[in-house]
Every structure is written in structure tokens, then in C-alpha cells.
């Protein structure tokens, strides 16, 4: 393509499993590829132990993402760590603007920017953000050595966080607003076997309390307000799709995830999406990596000018 260094054949937004796998595939097809991302590894890099990525019995999310990154770099991917703030299509080219005031252009774009952690939206949460309220156990957990913490949530993220924190903190409360966990049995078993983890069911978080830092969590159980004394609170209650900034170029589902065809196409030719930000059923590292690879191959096909590209029918189902 042209000599202008800001013009690429493919720009990938996001450097989690989907984005990095896509980059490995596009560069191996000799497509000039740039990855724009605000971080490396996305949610996967924040996962304590990954035990279900084939080929690795057990690996930290950070180590696995580092391996993806090294492989993408070896194949020739360029990286710029910044947030993409806008995406538009002008003629055949996509224009991307970043938080660092850069402008990039490309013929194809793969959106793989994942999901954003959900907030509790209770009094005190915002006020004590960074002062005891945390959203990443692997990042902030080590600060709570020998202390008492609460983890809120009932899915794999909460179980994973509780398991990790049980090895650092002296006491871990795990508060689930339901009476069953929706995470994997094997993770739940590990948590149940940790002597310093106390499971609290049917507990709806009401308020985060503190002075200069968090010192208490108030929750409601069976209509009664209860409190526990804690040094830290880990909010692990799932994620949201932040897709408002691209919604004019694609169809979104009711959860604001990007609707894709089975080959990762969106309704805009040349614009693909992959991984957790899409409407696929399972949010797992191995699935995101596969989806990213698929998006890359479809982008390659698109750039080859294949006449066989079948765009999905986006009309509502009758």
C-alpha cells in the first residue's frame, strides 16, 4: 500500500486474545497490520489462572497474553498503546482517531476491544474507588496481604478472584446475590475448600462505608441489613459492552454487543468484529482466539477482493 506510515491494510482495535490472534493471522498473510489498544491482554491478562486453554495445563492470564503478544510481534505486527476514540468510513477507507491525537487509515478494521467491568452503583463505590474498592484481584490483591477482603459476584470472575485472594488475604468473604453460583464447579470446589473463604448467599450489596479508606460493607440478606468489617472490596460482577462510539456502523443486540455473521462480518463491508465484544455465546480465551483468527482470514478474503463474500442479512427475522 501507500508509503504513508499511518495507512495500514488492517487495523485491529484491542489487544486481548481476539485482537492478538487476529494480528498473528493477518501478518502471516503479509497484511500490514497495526494493533491499537489501551492495554495488553484485556480481561484475560487480569485472570489469575487459566486452566482451560489447550496446550497449557495452567498458566497465568498475563503470561499467556505475553506469549500471544510476542508471537504477534515476531510476525511483524505494529502496536500503539492508546485508546481509539472514533471510527468512520470515508470511501473505501476507515479513519481511526486516538486519544493521543493520531489519525490512522486502513482498508479493513477488526474490532476486538472486549468488555468493560460493570460497576455496583451503590453509595460509596465511586468515592472509595482506588481506596479499597478494586476491580482486579490479580492487580490489586497483593496489597491486601494478611487483610480482610470481600469479593462480590457469583460467576467465574468472582470465584477466580476469591481463590486467588484466599492465598494472600487472611480472610475472604464471597458475596453472591443468588443462592447458586453460575461459575464452573471446579472453581467453586477450590473456593469451598479454602478454609479462610466464607460464602455468603442471597446477599445484595447496599453500601460501601469508610473514612479515608474502605472499612465496612453493608449488604441486605432476607430483608435485613448486615455488615462486615473489611479492608478491601473486589467487585467482580461481569462486564458491559461499550459500543456507543461505533454503533452507526453496525447492528448491536440488546446487550449492546456487536452482531456478527458466522465469519465475523458486521453490516459495514471491511469492518469485522471478534471476541467478547460480539454477540457470540461464550466468553472464553480459546473462543476469542479462534474468533479473532476467523475475523483475520475473512478480512484477508475481503482485501483480496473475493467475489464470494456473502454479507449477512440484517433484516429482522419474521
Contact letters for ligand NDP, residues 132-151 (x by CB under 6 A): --------------------
Number of amino acids touching ligand NDP (CB under 6 A): 20
Question: E strands within 112-191?
Answer: 116-117, 133-134, 148-152, 171-175
Confirm if 13 and 94 have CB atoms less than 8 A apart: no
Residue 123, CA distances (Å) to 34, 233, 239, 276 in order: 41, 13, 20, 29
Pick out residues in 70-109 that bind ligand NDP (CB under 6 A). Answer: none
Please name the residue that has the C-alpha cell 501478518: 27
Among 237, 241, 258, 277, binds ligand NDP (CB under 6 A): 237
Residue nearer to ligand NDP on the CB measure, 155 or 312: 155
Q: What is the CA radius of gyration of the chain?
A: 21
C-alpha–C-alpha distance, residues 202 and 205, integer Å: 10
Residue 112 — φ and ψ, nearest 5°? -145, 45
C-alpha–C-alpha distance, residues 112 and 16, integer Å: 7
Please tell me whether residue 60 binds ligand NDP under the rule CB under 6 A: no
Region from 16-24, 64-72, 176-184, 302-310 binding ligand NDP, contact rule CB under 6 A: 176-184
Please tell me whether residue 205 binds ligand NDP under the rule CB under 6 A: yes
Residue nearer to ligand NDP on the CB measure, 32 or 283: 283
Among 65, 120, 188, 295, binds ligand NDP (CB under 6 A): 120
Active site residue 264: no
Please name the residue that has the C-alpha cell 496446550: 55
Nearest distance from C-beta of residue 239 to ligand NDP, angstroms: 6
User: Would you list the DSSP string of 4-35?
Assistant: -TTEEEEEEE--SHHHHHHHHHHHHTT--EEE
Please tell me whether residue 182 binds ligand NDP under the rule CB under 6 A: yes
C-alpha–C-alpha distance, residues 277 and 172, integer Å: 31
Which cell is 61 given? Answer: 492470564
Among 153, 270, 275, 292, binds ligand NDP (CB under 6 A): 153
Which positions ≥6 away from 200 have C-beta within 8 Å? 173, 174, 175, 176, 219, 221
Which positions ≥6 away from 311 have C-beta within 8 Å? 261, 265, 267, 269
Active site residue 139: yes
Please tell me whether residue 238 binds ligand NDP under the rule CB under 6 A: yes
Nearest distance from C-beta of residue 119 to ligand NDP, angstroms: 8
Pick out residues in 260-289 that bind ligand NDP (CB under 6 A). Answer: 283
Residue nearer to ligand NDP on the CB measure, 7 or 286: 286
Catalytic residue among 4, 39, 92, 136: 136
Nearest distance from C-beta of residue 238 to ligand NDP, angstroms: 3
Nearest distance from C-beta of residue 183 to ligand NDP, angstroms: 6
Active site residue 140: yes
Among 14, 42, 132, 154, binds ligand NDP (CB under 6 A): 154
Region from 80-88, 164-172, 174-182, 244-252 binding ligand NDP, contact rule CB under 6 A: 174-182
Among 160, 163, 257, 291, binds ligand NDP (CB under 6 A): 160
Catalytic positions: 136, 139-140
Amino acid at each position: 500500500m501507500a508509503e504513508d506510515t499511518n495507512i495500514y491494510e488492517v487495523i485491529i482495535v484491542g489487544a486481548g486474545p481476539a485482537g492478538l490472534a487476529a494480528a498473528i493471522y493477518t501478518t502471516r498473510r503479509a497484511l500490514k497490520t497495526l494493533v491499537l489498544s489501551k492495554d495488553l491482554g484485556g480481561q484475560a491478562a487480569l485472570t489469575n489462572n487459566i486452566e482451560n486453554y489447550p496446550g497449557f495445563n495452567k498458566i497465568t492470564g498475563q503470561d499467556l497474553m505475553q506469549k500471544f503478544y510476542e508471537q504477534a510481534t515476531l510476525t511483524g505486527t505494529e502496536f500503539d498503546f492508546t485508546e481509539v476514540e472514533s471510527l468512520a468510513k470515508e470511501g473505501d477507507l476507515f479513519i481511526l482517531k486516538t486519544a493521543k491525537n493520531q489519525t490512522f487509515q486502513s482498508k479493513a478494521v477488526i474490532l476486538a476491544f472486549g468488555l468493560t467491568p460493570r460497576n455496583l452503583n451503590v453509595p460509596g463505590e465511586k468515592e472509595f474507588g482506588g481506596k479499597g474498592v478494586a476491580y482486579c484481584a490479580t492487580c490489586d490483591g497483593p496489597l491486601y496481604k494478611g487483610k480482610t477482603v470481600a469479593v462480590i459476584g457469583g460467576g467465574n470472575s468472582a470465584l477466580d478472584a476469591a481463590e486467588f485472594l484466599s492465598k494472600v488475604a487472611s480472610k475472604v468473604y464471597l458475596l453472591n446475590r443468588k443462592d447458586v453460583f453460575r461459575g464452573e464447579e471446579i472453581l467453586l470446589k477450590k473456593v469451598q475448600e479454602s478454609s479462610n473463604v466464607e460464602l455468603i448467599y442471597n446477599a445484595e450489596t447496599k453500601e460501601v462505608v469508610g473514612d479515608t479508606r474502605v472499612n465496612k460493607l453493608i449488604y441486605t440478606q432476607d430483608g435485613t441489613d448486615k455488615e462486615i468489617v473489611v479492608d478491601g472490596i473486589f467487585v467482580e460482577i461481569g462486564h458491559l459492552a461499550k459500543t456507543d462510539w461505533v454503533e452507526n456502523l453496525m447492528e448491536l443486540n440488546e446487550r449492546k454487543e456487536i452482531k456478527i455473521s458466522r465469519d465475523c462480518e458486521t453490516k459495514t463491508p471491511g469492518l469485522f468484529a471478534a471476541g467478547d465484544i460480539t454477540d457470540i455465546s461464550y466468553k472464553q480465551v480459546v473462543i476469542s482466539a479462534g474468533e479473532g483468527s476467523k475475523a483475520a482470514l475473512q478480512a484477508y478474503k475481503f482485501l483480496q477482493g473475493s467475489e464470494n463474500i456473502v454479507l449477512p442479512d440484517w433484516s429482522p427475522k419474521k
